[in-house]
């Protein structure tokens, strides 16, 4: 059992647009996050159907390890993930539900880094985040998520 927290929230209006930080966000069942590119179908991967595109999460610990191990410093939003967590074992949550504040998510699959992410950030991020770039999730119960909300099973 774990109990973590949301440390930051990020959305982008369209593919490749800078990520914007939010203190809270509305989460819409079956769609995504209010104001985010994937809610409107304008994300880089929107043309490829599949599950797990409603919400993405990454551990702040992965971003910190990237700096420590690869000397690559990125802001949490530069990871292109919507929710940055602390104390949440995201890789273990594939196929499981988690509670994020008032919202319930279902972990669909790992969110591996790709060439597109490396092109938007810096060389080396792809190998630095392999198997720890986060989780792709779908929304089971919508509502609001706020920075500081708890994350638990």
Give per-residue pLDDT as tens, 73-113.
999 998 889 999 999 999 999 999 999 999 999 999 998 87
Buried b (16+ CB within 10 A) or exposed e, 109-146: ebbebbeebbebbbeebbebbeebbbbbbbbeebeebe
Domain that holds residue 32: 3-152
Work out the pLDDT band at 124, boundaries 50, 70, 90.
confident
pLDDT averaged over the chain?
90
CATH code of residue 13: 2.40.33.20
- Total-model pTM: 0.90
The domain total for the chain is 1
């Amino acid at each position: 059992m774990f109990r973590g927290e949301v440390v930051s929230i990020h959305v982008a209006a369209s593919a490749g647009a800078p990520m914007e930080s939010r203190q809270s966000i509305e989460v819409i069942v079956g769609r995504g996050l209010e104001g985010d590119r994937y809610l409107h179908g304008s994300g880089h991967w929107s043309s490829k159907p599949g599950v797990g595109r409603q919400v993405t999460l990454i551990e702040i610990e992965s971003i910190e390890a990237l700096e420590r191990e690869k000397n690559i410093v990125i802001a949490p939003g530069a990871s292109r993930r919507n929710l940055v967590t602390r104390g949440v074992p995201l890789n273990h949550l594939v196929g499981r539900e988690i509670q994020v504040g008032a919202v319930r998510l279902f972990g669909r699959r790992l969110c591996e880094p790709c060439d597109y992410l490396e092109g938007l950030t810096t060389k080396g991020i792809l190998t630095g985040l392999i198997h720890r770039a986060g989780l792709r999730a779908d929304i089971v119960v919508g509502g609001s998520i706020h920075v500081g909300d708890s994350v638990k099973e």
